[in-house]
Structure 1
Amino acid sequence: MCFVRIFVNQKTALLGISILAAVWLTPTPSQAKMVMEDPAVQAMVDKGIRYLEAHHLDKMKYPFEGISGGGHGEHALMGYAHMKVMHDPNNPVVQQGVRSSQRLLGMLSQTDPGGHSSKTIYAVSVAAMLLAEVDRIAYQRELKRAADFLSRRQYRNGAYGYFAGEEGDISQTQYAMLALWTLDRAGMMIDYPSVPKTIAFLGRVQDPSGGWPYLAHDPGGAGGRVKQELVSVSMAVAGGSSLLIASDILRTWGETGAKDSPNIPGFPKAVKIFREDVGNENVVRPRVPGDPILSAIKECDGYLKSNSAMPDKLASVYPYYQLYTLERYESFKEIALQVKPNPSPLWFKSGVAYLQARQDADGGWNKDAYTTMNGTTSTSFALLFLIRSTQKAIAAASSGSLAGGQGLPKDTTEITVEGSEIKGKPVAAEMTNLLKILEKDDANNIEGKSIPDNLKLATNPKERAAQLDRMERLVRGSQSWQARRVAARLLGQSDELRVVPTLIYALSDPDPMVPIYARDGLRMIARRFEGFGLSDDPAEGETDLAQKQWRAWYRKMNPGYVFLDYDL
């Protein structure tokens, strides 16, 4: 059997396409609609995004001096929240976060003064999450620095905390685990033997009540659990999240489903994934037993049942942090319990009601925030909760569906990203005798607007192949710019790997529109939505470079293909 392979790289992650875990984790379109298309939730999200865009330049709560200040982390968190909602790496909020993340990860050799004012672990972790979300390949060097730093900063007992400290900080441990999970899912190598140490630590310091403390007293391996101080709901979900995230890094709950299945609606079952730049695919991960972890989570659930996780029921010092952490805890718990994701459970509805009652007129969340200086951090946490960001991250790391569970539009000429959805014009009409018209000498006299946007190739394989052949000949040899435009556009919409060399050839067409149709078609076929550059008005040498990069990409897909003179 001959399989068609879809080549997936880091850019597709921006749109939620990835390949690393179980197919059943992907929300269905109806599930996604319950969360993201609920008018009340969407209105809150839209207002929150506008707030971040209006206030991202405000003074932060924490300073930017040195690695421990925390200001860089606040910028990264804002950028991460905006990126998860809008998927726009060029937005100023995201770009500010990227710059701050790069600066922070570039000075990790500096001395951390430690103490409770140090926010280094938080900032490094969120910086890694943002850069991996934006472009894991372009920022590979920075991501490796983050992974190495977290390996160095782990305590001997498996915890994370303040520099030179002795008591493990449950909150910082959670963010370190989340960063390591993100790096692992992005294909980066991490310190895998360190993860079971964290799992063991979390098991030892769980309070007999089932919750976790802020700073944990580790009894060591000699005795059983001891009563901890400052146990709270926010730390309970942080400790439970840490345990679940760490176990998922090690694939404790398995990895069901075909790893190379794209699971993209409308694709043939024969389509397979060709992975790019995944360096940890075959790594041997340490094994940990799952039963003690599930037992600890059951105890945590008991604690949460007695102590409401909703900030309006039981007052919380950090309500927005707590809600985001709760969403993470519940999402990873679905993996451990191997149940289908619930897009709108009671705890989520209660959290939405809490946030709806506290959103300010300007779209931000300042009420009950840990800082009154600005609401950007609280707003970022609120947004990440509202969009079920952890569930989306898990789904994106587990299948080939888009954020929101939506399928790819088949028309690339007007593709847009709205929130977490990709939209485009549907393909509905049949292609009639257009090719005959375009093959005539007077094809240029056709009014472009009269050509339907929703043409569809034949479904019969033989007829479809003949249509593709004719369109390729038009692109390569027609004297009519109109014929070349239409043919390039239709080839790009075909989702046929065989037409890639022709579209690469068309990138150098003298007509200004043919290269744009060819470029967009290549991006859709490859699922590389940023492509290899090539602007609408390319500078000198830009087209040659793009063609060279696309040829190199195609050789990975079809190693036996030889580009002849007429392809170049």
Structure 2
Amino acid sequence: MILKTLLWAFASLAAICIHTNTALAYTPFDTKVVNMVDRGLVYLENADPKDYHYGTSGFAGGLGERALVAYTHFKVKHDPNARVVQQGIAAVKTMVGVIRSGKRNVPGISFEVYSTAVAVMLLAEVDKEKYKSELKTLQGFLYELQYPNGAFSYIGHKTGDISQTQYGVLAIWTLDHAGIPLDYKRVAACAKWLIRVQDPSGGWPYQAEDPGAGRPNIRQKDVYPAMAYAGGSSILIAGDALRLWGDTSRSDMSAFPGAPKAIKLYVPDANSERRKGATVNSEKVIGAIKASDRYLANTEYKRAAKDYYYYQLYTQERYESFKEIALGLKPDESPSWYNQGVDELIGYQDPKSGGWGVEDHDHSGSVAGTCFAILFLIRSTQRSIAAASSGTLAGGQGLPKDTTKIRREGSQIKGEPVGASVLDLLSALEDDGNEALEGKSLPENMQLATDPKELRAQLDRLERLVRGSQSYQARRVAARLLGKSDDMRVVPALIYALSDPDLAVRRYARDGLRFISRRFEGFEMPDKPTEGELRKAERAWMDWYLTVNPKHIFVDQ
């Protein structure tokens, strides 16, 4: 059983009570939070096999836990070559090999949803195209595990398992966004099952008895407050996969800090036709969530000496993040429930190792517990919904602020500010002999003009700089500012800058293209590309831009 800890997670948890007197307001980018995450990652990188709850072998235990560690590490560092990430990928390949063998009675192997879901999440996050074959195999296995009524559970069980259903539908949502062909009638069946088995109180049970279609909801046994997070997350994830509330989370990123406000681009949807005919009443879904919220509001969670606290935090973050888009809310970087969780995690982090669950003996184990704590701290689900950029800084903290001299300490970027006037800055940049910007950085509040005529003039000057300035400092700043603009016309100039002799200019151009286009995963151009990788990325960006502006002619590439 993967992370067998997960099987009992929801059965032991209650909802966290939101304290109204939280002293501090945190975001995932605060220094204190980033330092906690960095220390947690060090713990995961150095974890001994004995620290893993079920060792480091076995389909559902160690292999699944390896995948969870890899997924967590990659969500923060975005480094596919990191040792723990490679170990996780190797573990998933072993799992895929077992599935493809067709054997279901391998000694020591337990087939279940959790490990399969984490495997899907890892491969899709690292490289959904490279691992498309493996993702399709995992998809087929998920179908094998899904019950006819839409639920997920252990093979041979008679009742659907709310906890496992959450991970099954999360894997389906991930496959959906990876462009893997899906059977959406299965998704709709899962959502309808979740609505049927919701307890009249608004919560969900651990093991759910299905009253059957068209019948009133019945009182369920073992209804736990934490099941509201699991059941609620499941129905929200299914609703998003079915696009019950549209595609706003994928086409308009203006609600997220740093995103250009005017950009709404078409994102290809490989499953749009397959989604037709799979219907669920969106009002019933929202009604179920409102009932769940009422249930949670009347429930207080007090941590027991030995429970699944860290796993519950991650589940809550998932519930709240999907609820934001379902209800059309602006993403909140510092909600009260997050602030409380950070306050508590500060006290629970082991002072020596940096892990969580080391001394308090959380049922999930210290390795999985640390993963869950980190995923909560970085708002992992919110990032997944926003298609967070693999080309950003560690922790997905956005494009670098320093445009001429980057100094990195951990996950923090530091530099010295320069004058805030764009006009003054442009004048300095256009003087090729001016080295005044050496060691300086672009100010936090540096903004291009809002007046259309002034903006066009500034962009013209920046495009000339990025294409022809003799100063690498000038080209860096120009590429950085072009990447922040709301004007699609700068894309050809940024594509041109991909082949700049200065590696920093190339990175700013690449990140700017990802930012403007909303293709956050980019086209596989590393920080130090080979000539072949560079040409491939240039060609891919040109082809993409021609889908937006078919009449454009690239004359200087």
TM tier relative to shorter chain: 0.7 to 0.9
Matches for 1:252-291 after TM superposition, within 5 Å: 252-256=244-248, 259=251, 271-273=263-265, 275=267, 278-280=269-271, 284-285=275-276, 286-291=278-283
1:170 aligned onto 2:165: no
- Residue matched to 2:513: 526
- 2:309 counterpart (296, 314, 319): 319
- Residue matched to 2:375: 384
1:547 aligned onto 2:547: no
Secondary structure (helix, strand or coil) at the match of 1:51 reads: helix
Per-residue displacement from partner, 1:58-92 (whole Å, max 9, x unpaired)?
553336666x4322210111122223333433332
CA distance, structure 1, for counterparts of residue 338 and residue 478 of structure 2: 44
Relative to 1, partners in 2 of residues 1:84 and 1:448: Cα closer, same or farther, differing over 3 Å? same
Per-residue displacement from partner, 1:95-144 (whole Å, max 9, x unpaired)?
32222223323432333349998353101101111222223233222223
* Structure 1: gaps spanning 5 or more residues: 1-31, 439-445, 475-482, 508-513
Q: Contact 2:42 / 2:354 at 8 angstroms: preserved in 1?
A: yes
CA distance, structure 2, for counterparts of residue 359 and residue 267 of structure 1: 33
Q: Contact 1:50 / 1:363 at 8 angstroms: preserved in 2?
A: yes
Number of residue pairs matched by the alignment: 503
Relative to 1, partners in 2 of residues 1:358 and 1:259: Cα closer, same or farther, differing over 3 Å? closer
Alpha-carbon shift at residue 491 of structure 1 (Å): 5.7
Relative to 1, partners in 2 of residues 1:168 and 1:451: Cα closer, same or farther, differing over 3 Å? closer
- 1:328 counterpart (318, 321, 326): 318
1:234 aligned onto 2:211: no
Alpha-carbon shift at residue 202 of structure 1 (Å): 1.7
Secondary structure (helix, strand or coil) at the match of 1:62 reads: strand
CA distance, structure 1, for counterparts of residue 273 and residue 405 of structure 2: 39
- Residue matched to 2:136: 144
> Which residue identity does 1:229 align to in structure 2?
K
CA distance, structure 1, for counterparts of residue 415 and residue 165 of structure 2: 42
Relative to 1, partners in 2 of residues 1:397 and 1:417: Cα closer, same or farther, differing over 3 Å? same
Q: Contact 1:265 / 1:401 at 8 angstroms: preserved in 2?
A: no
Q: Contact 1:116 / 1:162 at 8 angstroms: preserved in 2?
A: no
Relative to 1, partners in 2 of residues 1:296 and 1:414: Cα closer, same or farther, differing over 3 Å? same
Matches for 1:87-236 after TM superposition, within 5 Å: 87-109=78-100, 110-113=102-105, 118=110, 120-221=112-213, 223-236=215-228
CA distance, structure 2, for counterparts of residue 391 and residue 545 of structure 1: 31
Relative to 1, partners in 2 of residues 1:59 and 1:375: Cα closer, same or farther, differing over 3 Å? closer
Q: Contact 2:415 / 2:441 at 8 angstroms: preserved in 1?
A: no
1:516 aligned onto 2:503: yes
> Which residue identity does 1:101 align to in structure 2?
V
> Which residue identity does 1:499 align to in structure 2?
A
1:359 aligned onto 2:353: no
Alpha-carbon shift at residue 238 of structure 1 (Å): 1.3
Alpha-carbon shift at residue 173 of structure 1 (Å): 0.5
Alpha-carbon shift at residue 174 of structure 1 (Å): 0.7
1:375 aligned onto 2:366: yes
> Which residue identity does 2:310 align to in structure 1?
Y
- Residue matched to 1:82: 73
Secondary structure (helix, strand or coil) at the match of 1:107 reads: helix
1:499 aligned onto 2:487: no
CA distance, structure 2, for counterparts of residue 464 and residue 209 of structure 1: 58
Q: Contact 1:89 / 1:95 at 8 angstroms: preserved in 2?
A: yes
CA distance, structure 1, for counterparts of residue 437 and residue 337 of structure 2: 51
Relative to 1, partners in 2 of residues 1:517 and 1:200: Cα closer, same or farther, differing over 3 Å? closer
- 1:45 counterpart (37, 52, 62): 37
Q: Contact 2:112 / 2:145 at 8 angstroms: preserved in 1?
A: no
- Residue matched to 2:11: none
Q: Contact 2:303 / 2:309 at 8 angstroms: preserved in 1?
A: yes
1:556 aligned onto 2:544: yes
Alpha-carbon shift at residue 489 of structure 1 (Å): 4.2
Higher-Rg structure is 1
CA distance, structure 2, for counterparts of residue 393 and residue 407 of structure 1: 14
Alpha-carbon shift at residue 55 of structure 1 (Å): 0.7
* Structure 2: gaps spanning 5 or more residues: 1-23, 483-489, 515-519
CA distance, structure 1, for counterparts of residue 291 and residue 107 of structure 2: 32
Alpha-carbon shift at residue 150 of structure 1 (Å): 1.6
Secondary structure (helix, strand or coil) at the match of 1:519 reads: helix
Q: Contact 1:491 / 1:499 at 8 angstroms: preserved in 2?
A: no
CA distance, structure 2, for counterparts of residue 158 and residue 76 of structure 1: 26
Relative to 1, partners in 2 of residues 1:116 and 1:170: Cα closer, same or farther, differing over 3 Å? farther
CA distance, structure 1, for counterparts of residue 344 and residue 526 of structure 2: 46
Q: Contact 1:170 / 1:213 at 8 angstroms: preserved in 2?
A: yes
Alpha-carbon shift at residue 371 of structure 1 (Å): 4.6
CA distance, structure 2, for counterparts of residue 37 and residue 534 of structure 1: 24
Deviates more, 1:210-219 or 1:301-310: 301-310
- Residue matched to 2:26: 34
Relative to 1, partners in 2 of residues 1:84 and 1:188: Cα closer, same or farther, differing over 3 Å? same
Matches for 1:353-432 after TM superposition, within 5 Å: 353-361=343-351, 362-364=353-355, 365-371=357-363, 375-396=366-387, 408-409=399-400, 428=419, 430-432=425-427
Alpha-carbon shift at residue 154 of structure 1 (Å): 1.0
Q: Contact 2:206 / 2:223 at 8 angstroms: preserved in 1?
A: yes
1:55 aligned onto 2:51: no
CA distance, structure 2, for counterparts of residue 129 and residue 523 of structure 1: 25
CA distance, structure 1, for counterparts of residue 495 and residue 339 of structure 2: 50
Alpha-carbon shift at residue 160 of structure 1 (Å): 0.6
Structure with bigger RCO (C-alpha 8 Å, 6+ apart): 1
- Residue matched to 2:20: none
Q: Contact 1:79 / 1:94 at 8 angstroms: preserved in 2?
A: yes
Deviates more, 1:127-136 or 1:225-234: 225-234
Per-residue displacement from partner, 1:262-321 (whole Å, max 9, x unpaired)?
67877776655364x652356535231133333333443344344424435xx7732222
Q: Contact 1:264 / 1:407 at 8 angstroms: preserved in 2?
A: no
CA distance, structure 1, for counterparts of residue 321 and residue 458 of structure 2: 47
CA distance, structure 1, for counterparts of residue 527 and residue 463 of structure 2: 26
Secondary structure (helix, strand or coil) at the match of 2:60 reads: coil
CA distance, structure 2, for counterparts of residue 529 and residue 232 of structure 1: 38
1:293 aligned onto 2:285: yes
Q: RMSD of the TM alignment (CA)?
A: 4.3
> Which residue identity does 2:53 align to in structure 1?
K
Q: Contact 1:106 / 1:142 at 8 angstroms: preserved in 2?
A: no
> Which residue identity does 2:322 align to in structure 1?
F
Alpha-carbon shift at residue 239 of structure 1 (Å): 1.7
TM normalised by structure 2 equals 0.74
CA distance, structure 2, for counterparts of residue 266 and residue 38 of structure 1: 16
CA distance, structure 2, for counterparts of residue 316 and residue 309 of structure 1: 13
Secondary structure (helix, strand or coil) at the match of 2:265 reads: strand
> Which residue identity does 1:207 align to in structure 2?
D
Q: Contact 1:219 / 1:225 at 8 angstroms: preserved in 2?
A: yes
CA distance, structure 2, for counterparts of residue 524 and residue 228 of structure 1: 50
Secondary structure (helix, strand or coil) at the match of 1:162 reads: coil
- Residue matched to 1:13: none
Q: Contact 2:176 / 2:182 at 8 angstroms: preserved in 1?
A: yes
Relative to 1, partners in 2 of residues 1:415 and 1:471: Cα closer, same or farther, differing over 3 Å? closer
Q: Contact 2:192 / 2:280 at 8 angstroms: preserved in 1?
A: no
Deviates more, 1:375-384 or 1:356-365: 356-365
CA distance, structure 1, for counterparts of residue 313 and residue 380 of structure 2: 12
CA distance, structure 1, for counterparts of residue 273 and residue 254 of structure 2: 19
Alpha-carbon shift at residue 198 of structure 1 (Å): 0.9
